[in-house]
Amino acid sequence: MHLAKQDIPTRIDVPGAVARQLPDFGSTNADEAIGAEYFSLGAGTDIAPLLVGLENDLCQSPHWGYLISGEVVVSYSSGESEQMTGGDVFFWPAGHSVAVRQDAEIVLFSPQVAHGQVIDHLRAQLVPAGS
């Protein structure tokens, strides 16, 4: 199965951040559905404020992925952080946050239920109060 980036449904589209997420892209041996995701994030984007209200105010979904371009810093619940640059493959365990230092293009594969809940939470944070 393959898919062009523009065919992945857009879930978040705000200045500095576009998040595309396709459910049912595959499954694990445990029969857990996996989503395919493509994020375009502008320099200066920090998702930490949007994660407030989730467990430990962090993303609670693991991700496997590839940083196509850019530079990001991922902070973990352990207090550690690591910097990644274009060309890096990665695994981010549950309990993390992401800040973008240079415009970034990121491909992620994530458990769709867990990350779908996080995306829904992020979207709710982006809706102006009273809307």
Amino acid at 1: M
Percentage with pLDDT > 90 across the chain: 78
- Give the pair of three-digit tokens for residue 78: 């352990």
Q: What is the pLDDT of residues 48-87, one digit of tens each?
A: 999 999 999 999 999 999 999 999 999 999 999 999 999 9
The class of domain 19-125 in CATH terms is mainly beta
Residues 6+ apart with CB under 8 A from 56: 77, 95
In this prediction, residue 25 carries a pLDDT of: 81
pLDDT at residue 131, rounded to an integer: 57
